[in-house]
């Protein structure tokens, strides 16, 4: 029997609720596929600050490094907004990515046929959309130094640095090209090379790496145009590769193609064994404990874990098909509920239904 050690970082707000549903589905996977998961919880974000006065304790990093994969819920709460920047919950996200060298973030945006009416765009625009956004995760303005806020000539000045080394661009380029090779061999690199020096370097490296993948068609697009094209004609894209801040923004925009942030999973990968899997939505502290949030993004993140960390595409397919079956039967959480004919369910019930389909 294969055994996997999984670190559970539930985090804040709705994080514990959605992680619980992912665990529920993985326990169903145990019964169906004869594998075993050994879960170990660790604190991250605001709950970690409350306990240890830091949003990312060393013991959390140690637990993650000793695990085969990590499932993360969400971090943050308005009550921490007045904390110093270096101990705010969101700082833990950057910290854990850096500590585990999670430089490659895969964010699929897939419009299920059952949810084409949930998008704010016309069904004919979004139906059939299947995009993979490959986002560089440990560079760019989120990590560039120097950074800060200073008083210059009597007024405050804030500054951050967009910085990429050739080696950082090259490794994410290889991930993107390899991803494209497994799909439709079409890659669009998004930058701002008409304005930014760092983007000109980005484009230069992408062109160089492209020579190693002659079967892949590489195109380039400025980020402002890409933001427009994602809404105008999303089906023109297959794989998109871009930097940290552009990827953050574009992947959230892509969630509206799908209909809800509650449907978008993600995988953050390193060049080692550890991957971290999380929904792209936030902690939504106003919804905590109300049993109304959509756990599907977290459940699909667990499915991605099976595919990318453990090479179990069969289990990925089983979870993905279970989600499709539940949606085809009309079950919806409030974020994707659009028609009175549909069956409105809560967080826990949605997890129950998907787990039942996995076992069936």
Tokens 């894209």 label which residue? 237
Choose among 114, 59, 68, 100: nearest CA to 302.
68
DSSP for 63-126, written as a single string = HHHTSSEEEEEE---GGGTTS-GGGSTHHHHHHHHHHTT--EEEEEEE--GGGGGGSSS-HHHH
Question: Backbone phi, then psi, for 90, in 5-degree steps?
Answer: -60, -25
| In contact, 263 and 298? CB cutoff 8 Å | no
Which of 49, 164, 191, 192 is labelled catalytic?
192
Tokens linked to 315: 């289990």
- The pair of three-digit structure tokens given for residue 115, joined into one six-digit string: 């949810």
- Catalytic (active site) residue 252: yes
Active-site choice (130, 238, 252, 352): 252
Q: Contact 238/183 with Cβ under 8 angstroms?
A: yes
Active-site residue, from 122, 159, 165, 224: 224
Instruction: Indicate if 52 belongs to the active site.
Output: no
Of the candidates 248, 277, 335, 357, the residue annotated as catalytic is 248
- In whole angstroms, what is the distance from residue 151 CA to residue 174 CA? 42
Separation of alpha carbons 238 and 234, rounded Å: 9
Asked if residue 164 lies in contact with residue 269, where contact means CB atoms within 8 angstroms, the answer is no
Question: By three-state DSSP, how is residue 222 classified?
Answer: strand
Residue 101's nearest CA partner among 337, 286, 275 is 275
Closest C-alpha to 181, from 205, 141, 217: 217
Alpha-helix residue ranges (DSSP H) falling in 233-333: 244-258, 296-308, 313-328
142 labelled catalytic: yes
Q: What is the dihedral of CA 131, 136, 138, 140, to 10 degrees?
A: -120
Cα separation, 65 vs 94, whole angstroms = 16
Q: Is residue 113 annotated as part of the catalytic site, yes or no? A: no
Q: Is 186 a catalytic residue?
A: no
Residues facing residue 9 across a β-bridge: 72
Q: Of the residues 4, 112, 142, 308, which is catalytic?
A: 142
Instruction: Give the catalytic positions in this structure.
Output: 142, 192, 224, 248, 252
């Amino acid at each position: 029997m294969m055994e996997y050690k999984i670190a559970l970082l539930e985090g804040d707000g709705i994080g514990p609720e959605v992680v619980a549903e992912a665990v529920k589905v993985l326990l169903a996977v145990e019964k169906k596929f004869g594998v075993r998961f050994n879960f170990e919880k660790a604190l991250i974000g605001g709950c970690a600050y409350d306990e240890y006065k830091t949003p990312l304790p060393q013991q959390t990093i140690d637990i993650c490094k000793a695990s085969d994969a990590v499932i993360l819920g969400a971090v943050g709460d308005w009550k921490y907004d007045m904390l110093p920047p270096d101990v705010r919950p969101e700082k833990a996200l950057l910290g854990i990515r850096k500590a585990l060298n999670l430089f490659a973030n895969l964010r699929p945006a897939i419009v299920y046929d059952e949810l084409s009416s949930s998008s704010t765009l016309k069904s004919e625009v979004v139906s059939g959309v299947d995009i993979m956004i490959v986002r560089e995760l440990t560079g760019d303005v989120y990590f560039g130094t120097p950074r800060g806020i200073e008083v210059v000539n009597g007024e405050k000045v804030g500054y951050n640095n967009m910085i990429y080394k050739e080696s950082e661009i090259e490794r994410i380029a290889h991930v993107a090209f390899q991803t494209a090779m497994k799909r439709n061999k079409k890659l669009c690199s998004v930058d701002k090379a008409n304005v930014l020096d760092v983007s000109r370097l980005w484009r230069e490296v992408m062109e160089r790496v492209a020579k190693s993948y002659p079967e892949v068609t590489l195109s380039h697009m400025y980020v402002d145009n890409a933001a427009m094209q994602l809404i105008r004609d999303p089906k023109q894209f297959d794989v998109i590769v871009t930097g940290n801040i552009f990827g953050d923004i574009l992947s959230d925009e892509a969630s509206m193609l799908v209909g809800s942030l509650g449907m978008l999973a993600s995988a953050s990968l390193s060049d080692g064994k550890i991957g971290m899997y999380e929904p792209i939505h936030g902690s939504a502290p106003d919804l905590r404990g109300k049993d109304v949030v959509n756990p599907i993004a977290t459940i699909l993140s667990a499915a991605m874990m099976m595919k990318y960390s453990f090479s179990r595409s069969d289990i990925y397919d089983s979870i993905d098909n279970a989600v499709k079956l539940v949606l085809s039967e009309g079950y919806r959480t409030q974020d994707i509920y659009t028609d009175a004919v549909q069956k409105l369910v809560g967080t826990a019930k949605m997890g129950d239904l998907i787990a039942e389909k996995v076992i069936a």
